Amino acid sequence: MIGYMRRHEKYVQETRQKDLDAAAIKELLHYHDKHIQWMQQERLAHLVTMLCVCLFTLLALGFTIIIPTLPAILLCTLLTALTLAYVIHYYRLENGIQKWYTLSDEIGRNNKLQA
């Protein structure tokens, strides 16, 4: 997912460097905004998944505190590592989308300057 975002951003940046007319800039903005919509759906799916994993981690932690057994400790450790991975992934996803919003605004400003 992060690789996809980097490739798309690189493509948009390289396309912006070219000498484009107003119609091409408008098409690029439409293309980029369509990808933003797709990534917003991905972001929502990852948010729900991350929150579920966090909930199960807290439940496992509570169970481990009440009944400290080796399988419970292992489950809690595994879920904590998974939660950490999801939080890092979601952080990167969120920051990437925020950069895309800025990029979309810059493309829109360029289109208005040429019109």
Give pLDDT tens digits for 34-64.
999 999 999 999 999 999 999 999 999 999 9
* Pick from 16-20, 39-43, 59-63, 74-78: least confident: 16-20
Assigned domain for 6 exists: no
User: What is the per-residue pLDDT for 76?
Assistant: 95
Q: With a cut of 90, say whether residue 115 has pLDDT above it.
A: no
Length of the chain as a residue count = 115
Q: Kindly state whether residue 4 falls inside one of the protein's structural domains.
A: no
Q: Is 12 inside any structural domain?
A: no
The answer to whether 93 and 48 have CB atoms below 8 angstroms apart is no
Domain count of the fold of the chain = 1
The answer as to whether 30 is a domain residue is no
Question: Is residue 88 a contact partner of residue 20, using CB atoms and an 8 Å limit?
Answer: no
Residue 70 has pLDDT above 70, yes or no: yes
Instruction: Report d(CA 112, CA 94) in Å as an integer.
Output: 27
| Of 53, 72, 50, nearest in space to 61 by CA | 72
Percent of the chain with pLDDT over 90: 55
In a domain, residue 98? The reply is yes
Is 90 within the bounds of a domain?
Answer: yes
Q: Is residue 53 part of a domain?
A: yes
Question: Does the pLDDT of residue 1 top 70, yes or no?
Answer: yes
Range of the domain at 115: 44-115
User: Sign of torsion, CA 95 2 45 57?
Assistant: negative
Whether residue 71 has pLDDT greater than 80: yes
Instruction: Give the relative orientation of helices 2-17 and 22-66 as an angle to the nearest 10 degrees.
Output: 160
Tell me, yes or no, whether 33 lies in a domain. Answer: no
